[in-house]
Structure 1
């Protein structure tokens, strides 16, 4: 086997490897079953000349010659790939000989040079056709899914526009046709390719760009930083070491300690005994999650060793190679910052305060800009920590920081060395073109050259509320209760000059359309009853009639609030679900209980509310926001013209 291959390469018969690649078996899979590495398989393919060619998507259905720069890979012989169509046509018309094949330099960063038996010319081109313009590749975020949505596509598109404005030829790699970044006129060339190291490196080798931009494709793109760096690809913006320092839990904790920036106690573990040791040392409840995953997947708040043991089995299945993060759960107020830095200066366009307390994923939480309840001393901490971190990490481009605030102290929860889902909202409300500025910084400009300095951008006379949008009616087996694992499928923005009116607009836009004077079901966990009391009283003042399960009804009645008892499902009929299905309920307030039987009943009620389009709130913070919004509605809601919003 492996005829003609150097001894250092895997001994795989060339014909067998060629058959495997024609069936599109990934290098990673071939490495696993042959006991070698993905890099070794890639080097063997290069040695044997086994590589993809690129076909153009026929957008004219064979009626006319298609000229749209859409490409996809195929393991065939003929390539339809031409980097610069006009230049190549001119060359061929004049009888010029196509440029000789030369060993590709990956991303202009040096990198490994192929052996003498390099892959042959594909489509008459040995790499990208020379053009007068520099070239950069933007990595997209792939298919839209929970945890990584259209907000990242916004970032990719605006980055491409900024590249074009700077005179660069722009190339996008993305595999989702239902996005703006994959429109025919967005970039100079588009590749519909899986966002894996193998497929991305193949395009990079073909295009030979100045560098690759990873910051706008969410966690999917950032996870490519390691493989691309090891292949010698130049990453534009924050370096691989900067990205790894932010993503590697142990390195990041040491950095925080050196900078004297506090974080909730905890650490990364790779075994069940270590997880138990950490949990016992810091005390329950603990917040646990795998590292390097999207949308808070498999993130949970655990209250006992039994729950932790059960969780660890599941988490290892979700992320078998990544450490599990075990942190003390801090029940405080979450704050989020998106910044642009150039390694020296750090611009903070805005700070967003979450309405739901810590424990609800940032993508599922409502947030307000500018903050409405944070003390100046806390805001100073948030800004100081952000500037210190950006300089220590040598951030060039965007970075997202999430904090939790408890007793006047801000703690760092996590840092994302990339764009976040709040970038489009902050750009719109602050007027700072964040993606454009970040892209210019990645290309070598400084913030001062662009007219910005270190610090917080001045706030406008507008208040914006970001609210999540859910698709529970289509996700039949998903419980609607909110927690640390993200479930929302979109977001909206409510804007006004008054906080309560902005809240009301956000509620309406996100589908929570509740009128005063309806019927409310309240089923409140014992731990939440005291906090819920003034909220339920507020809804009664607005004319709501209250139904409540037995325990909640007794508590409300004891405090002077009229409440009609309603049966739980196991207690017979008519029960909570019957009331919902009979159309006798306009709003449900249900906080989560740790009693399993109570939760089974509550889950059925929540599911019935989704099927019938009845708002169901599982967070008291959301209920408080709704109450404030409904009170503002009684005073009337104003809508301004676009010009008035811009002038505010």
Structure 2
């Protein structure tokens, strides 16, 4: 099992050998002939002015990630000397700030207002895929009304028909069948009566999903006719089409971020695996990059299919494809394709150091991948697949306790308001970091927060991970937990490693902690506070003990090339699973602390503050350090600061970085 991208070269070799006596054509000509690709449209005329449709107000399922993607698109257009016009009524965004877009319209994202802007500005092209579902739905409506054609405004990047095909579940299923691939058995319906008939045909349990919807709005699982009636009525209030899927609850969910240019160069940038099984929306799931439990055969099988699908659909730019993979065989189904930038794209960009939104914007102008410089490494082109020598864990944040009478169960419809991203050399290290990032009052994978409750293990809530921790502490076996949660045994074993070591620490006295004990604890992602609670000490006492024993973290780079050749990235993280630093600490910097995870009451407006602060410091000629762990933000973009630490904003970690960097000052607010 391996990549099949250039399998055709073997056929070229055989043809050369077979026909050599009669036709002594150079091998190079054979290769050029086989790999030649004629673009489906001409890119000779580049627009002088481009309209970018933003994402509007923040909502559950659509947050700061589109501020990040829109900002990168504006930067990419500026580099190509193209004037940018932005429509976005959200004032609390970086992309609407002075100095980015040439013109900003704070108008509602509805067809009549957008048409007025097109009429007065007369842009030569429009970007629809940088504003999430809101921007996309607005663009599709404008195309149906014939507005773009009327004013000679070209849709850049992925053709509009491809976007419609991937959003309309029925057409999408037909398009995938054309290349012999499978989507989950499903039926598209437009009424409650049709939904009940479809469910009886497929057999219960079924899953409902609304087309053209945001964050899985109106979706859910139905075990009987009554549950389906309720779900279908709710979903059809948001959308005119509902898809009834055969339930694949319990299968693995895997996704790939794929990039394709107008000349058919196609690469997979990042593959990610959900810790939670299918049945929980990707935005509600704990996600790990790169995937940890796929075999080489499975990884390459899904990669080959991703490239095949994206080429067939004719995507130009960035695309996300999601699979359901059987845990017991090689069977898989394609769940959906998002032919636009999404929250997963922001995560993949930050996890790999590959600037997806920036590259997608350049590709929309017809620039080939090999001609785009990778602005993160500075030495490679954008036509390469990142290699990761670290593990990334994304954990969502819910603020359900702020509402009365809200259901705390999580499922196929998004309820999370933000997410965090942690980086480590081990899953345990990154996982514990992420849990602390989500809630500063949590010390890590703590078995004392929740009680064991088998119902919560079967039907997950926002606190399920702590119920898993309690179950492991109470002696539940990996197999028993797998049956209840359907979380892969590999992940459960890693979680058990944390709980087992916590139990060992709890048997030790604070004065008896050895160098080996502390190193092992830190390598498994334990914080000083967590160790202190286990040995009945204090955070400061553990910190002093650790520093006396010279146990301090090492700073590593996200270099996209797994240290295969030198890279110049400023994406950094700290780890105890290392022996050397990847850089030196000689220059003086000013340190700025980011806003952390989005929550109700603290959102993208504080990212705007952080970015404004970084820009002003840079204007004053100072070098900057940013510490933040939110992958949806502009402040964690590669070109915003001189050094970016993707790390916890806690006393322990900030002090560790402060001691290493010795900055001139630190800005907290």
TM superposition score normalised by structure 2: 0.61
Report the CA distance between 1:619 and its aligned residue: 8.9
2:278 matched residue in structure 1: 358
Check if 1:298 corresponds to 2:298. no
Mapped partners of 1:465, 1:479: distance in 2: 26
Aligned to 1:450: 372
2: CA distance between counterparts of 1:480 and 1:537? 16
* Number of the residue aligned with 2:658: none
Residue range with higher mean Cα deviation, 517-526 or 305-314: 517-526
| Greater gyration radius | 1
Contact 2:269 2:354 survives alignment (8 Å):
yes
Out of 338, 354, 361, the position equivalent to 1:439 is 361
Q: Please list every run of 5 or more consecutive structure 2 residues that lacks an aligned counterpart in the other structure.
A: 1-40, 374-379, 460-464, 506-519, 524-551, 564-669
CA–CA distance in structure 2, aligned partners of residues 478 and 625 of structure 1: 32
Q: Looking at both structures, which has the greater relative contact order when contacts are Cα pairs under 8 Å and sequence separation is at least 6?
A: 2
**1:148 pairs with 30, 42, 62, which one?**
62
- Residue 485 of structure 1 corresponds to 413
Structure 1: distance between partners of 2:113 and 2:553? 48
Give me the whole-angstrom Cα distance separating, in 2, the residues matched to 1:478 and 1:328: 28
Normalised to the residue count of structure 1, the TM-score between the two structures is 0.63
- Where do 1:292-331 residues align within 5 Å? 292-319=212-239, 322-331=240-249
2:260 corresponding residue in structure 1? 341
Which residue number in structure 1 is paired with residue 348 of structure 2?
Answer: 426
Given the alignment of the two structures, is residue 212 of structure 1 paired with residue 126 of structure 2, yes or no?
A: yes
Indicate the RMSD between aligned Cα atoms, in angstroms.
3.2
Distance 1:404 1:245, change over 3 A: same
Q: CA deviation at 1:152?
A: 1.2
Aligned to 2:73: 159
- Partner Cα separation in structure 2 for residue 538 and residue 247 of structure 1: 38
1:260 partnered with 2:180: yes
Question: Contact 1:381–1:410 (CA<8 Å) still a contact in 2?
Answer: no
1:409 deviates by 2.0
Q: Match for residue 282 of structure 1?
A: 202
Question: SS of 2:399's equivalent?
Answer: coil
Following TM superposition, by how much is the alpha carbon of 1:392 offset from its aligned partner in structure 2, in angstroms? 1.1
Give the match for residue 387 of structure 2. Answer: 459
Q: Deviations over 1:394-441 (max 9, x none)?
A: 111111111111132221111111001022222222221111111111
- Matched length: 444
- C-alpha change, 1:628 and 1:465, in structure 2 (3 Å) is farther
CA contact (8 A) 1:215 1:398 kept: no
Q: Structure 1 unaligned runs (5+)?
A: 1-108, 110-131, 547-555, 560-588, 593-617
1:512-568 Cα deviation digits (max 9, x unpaired): 535757364122139949xxxx998974775x6x9xxxxxxxxx8xx9xxxxxxxxx
Correspondence 1:541-620 to 2 at 5 A? 542=473
Rounded Cα–Cα distance in structure 1 between residues aligned with 2:245 and 2:472:
41
Kindly state the Cα deviation for residue 256 of structure 1 after the two structures are TM-superposed: 1.0
Cα distance in 2, alignment partners of residues 302 and 362 from structure 1? 19
Q: Which residue pairs with 1:26 in the alignment?
A: none
Post-superposition offset of 1:377: 2.1
Query: Secondary structure of 1:363's partner?
Result: helix
**Aligned: 1:250 with 2:164:** no
CA 1:620 to 1:535, structure 2 compared with 1: closer, same or farther past 3 Å? farther
1:513 aligns with 2:443: yes
**Pair 1:528–1:470, CA change in 2 (3 A):** closer
Distance 1:632 1:185, change over 3 A: farther
Is the Cα–Cα contact under 8 Å of residues 352 and 371 in structure 1 kept in the other structure? yes
Query: Which SS does the other structure have where 1:438 is aligned?
Result: helix
Aligned match of 1:469 in 376, 391, 397?
397
Aligned-pair distance for 1:453?
9.3
Distance 1:194 1:528, change over 3 A: closer
CA distance in 1, matches of 2:497, 2:384: 28
